[in-house]
Amino acid sequence: MLTAGARIPGHPPPRRVIAVGGGKGGVGKTVVAANLAVALAQRGRCVTLVDADFGAANLHTLFGIDRPGPGLGGLLSGHARTVAEVLCRTSVPGVTLLPGLGAVPGSANFNHGQKQKLLAAVRAAGGDVVVIDVGAGIAFNTLDFFLLADQQLVVLTPQMTSIQNAYAFLKAALHRHVERSVLQVHAMTLADEARAPAVEPVAVWLARTSREDPAAAARARAALGRLAVRVVGNNVFHDKDRAVVHSVCRMFRDYLGAPVDVLGVLRASRRVHDSINHRRPFLLEDAMDDNSRAFHSMAEALLSLDAEELRPAADGEGAHQEEPDENAAPRPGGSQAPAPGAAG
């Protein structure tokens, strides 16, 4: 058994939670989460890495772990009572793993009560930093683990399908955040009024709401402004691809009405590709590579933000709001993503 939340002597930074998500599978979310955890640990932080890619959990594989133990599944089944019982030690000093739900049919379809239990487990994971590897898609379960964090990272590649899905993912996350943080204290129902922002850019919805109800719009802007969304561009081959990542961020800011900046860009690399098959985080193999330096720069940038100032985004109003049916059909237009430059 490991002790959750044990700190490395001499390093008392405030605890922070970082989520790594994205709209499309295969863009490198798990690789980014694993290596970012290593970079944070190498900066003296005690890191708990959470595998929240439900039904496709494989973070343990990247650390060469064959039998990760029951993990989150053990908490759901009742075989484990505390997070400390299901934490898994890795070969990287300072990094422990909270394994996810395995590839069992239906494992991603847990109910509201089970989700609350898993969210509570992640909150209790301890450590200086908690890094959550979130799965793809825009299911409520996925979005809520993404929004649990103080800092949110969206991983994408400079390809049209990845950009479109990243936009859809981030748009759904922002609307989910506004619904839970703002709308329940305003005189509108989720069944009616909340449908409007799902089919138009958030910035347009905010402008219209400012005319109809300035107070609600102000609360929405405050909630969105507290989000710390950063984009990580992955598998970049050329400088023009790097420019695409920056252009995408500008488009996200324009249409989503929230601050979205580039955290870092990772070049396409055979070494990163091979590290997956070698079952060892890339950052442990080559400390002088461009991508290694990029990971360390990203870690430093994340640690430079004041997690306490961002905390209201995760712990503010609406945290205990009764949620709509998770199995209900998606709202019209909620999952549509435009091509870059098109209205969304």
163 inside domain: yes
pLDDT value for 7: 42
Of 130-144, 146-160, 314-328, the one with minimum mean pLDDT is: 314-328
341 inside domain: no
Of 37-46, 194-203, 290-299, 317-326, the one with minimum mean pLDDT is: 317-326
pLDDT digits (tens, 9 = 90+) for 196-236: 445 567 777 788 888 888 888 888 888 887 788 999 999 99
Confidence of residue 320 (pLDDT cuts 50, 70, 90): very low
Instruction: Give Cβ neighbours of residue 338 (< 8 Å, ≥ 6 apart).
Output: 164, 167, 255, 344
pLDDT value for 106: 52
Closest CA to 127 of 24, 17, 204: 17
Instruction: Give Cβ neighbours of residue 220 (< 8 Å, ≥ 6 apart).
Output: 178, 182, 206, 209
pLDDT value for 225: 79
pLDDT above 60 for 135: yes
Using alpha carbons, list the distances in angstroms from residue 101 to 106, 134, 159, 276: 10, 12, 29, 20
More confident residue, 182 or 99: 99
More confident residue, 200 or 185: 200
Q: What is the mean pLDDT of residues 295-304?
A: 94
pLDDT value for 204: 78
pLDDT digits (tens, 9 = 90+) for 137-158: 888 888 999 999 989 999 999 9
295 inside domain: yes
7 inside domain: no
CATH code for position 304: 3.40.50.300
pLDDT value for 104: 57
Residues 341 and 170: their CA atoms lie apart, in Å, by 16
Which helix or strand (DSSP H or E) is residue 20 part of? strand 16-21
Packed helices 202-212 and 239-256: angle between N→C axes, nearest 10 degrees: 20
Residues 297 and 308: their CA atoms lie apart, in Å, by 21
Q: What is the mean pLDDT of residues 278-297?
A: 87
Indicate the residue type of 39: A
4 inside domain: no
Asked whether the beta carbons of 234 and 28 are under 8 A apart, the reply is yes
Residue 329, judged by CB atoms within 10 A of its CB (0-12, 13-18, 19+), counts as exposed
- Whole-number average pLDDT of the chain: 78
Residues 282 and 247: their CA atoms lie apart, in Å, by 28
pLDDT value for 297: 95
Of 74-78, 188-192, 210-214, 228-232, the one with minimum mean pLDDT is: 188-192
pLDDT value for 213: 85
213 inside domain: yes
Residues 195 and 272: their CA atoms lie apart, in Å, by 42
pLDDT digits (tens, 9 = 90+) for 81-123: 788 888 888 999 999 999 877 655 455 667 788 888 888 888 8
82 in helix, strand or coil? coil
Instruction: Give Cβ neighbours of residue 26 (< 8 Å, ≥ 6 apart).
Output: none
pLDDT value for 102: 65
Structural domains counted in the chain? 1
Residues 327 and 140: their CA atoms lie apart, in Å, by 9
pLDDT value for 184: 57
pLDDT value for 267: 92
pLDDT value for 118: 84
Range of the domain at 163: 16-308
Q: How far apart are the first and last CA of the chain?
A: 48
338 inside domain: no
Asked whether the beta carbons of 22 and 155 are under 8 A apart, the reply is yes
Residues 148 and 130: their CA atoms lie apart, in Å, by 11
339 inside domain: no
More confident residue, 202 or 27: 27
pTM here is 0.80
**At which residue do the structure tokens 């995408």 appear?**
248
Percent composition of the chain: helix, strand, coil (DSSP 3-state, to 5):
45, 15, 40
Asked whether the beta carbons of 170 and 257 are under 8 A apart, the reply is no
pLDDT value for 232: 96
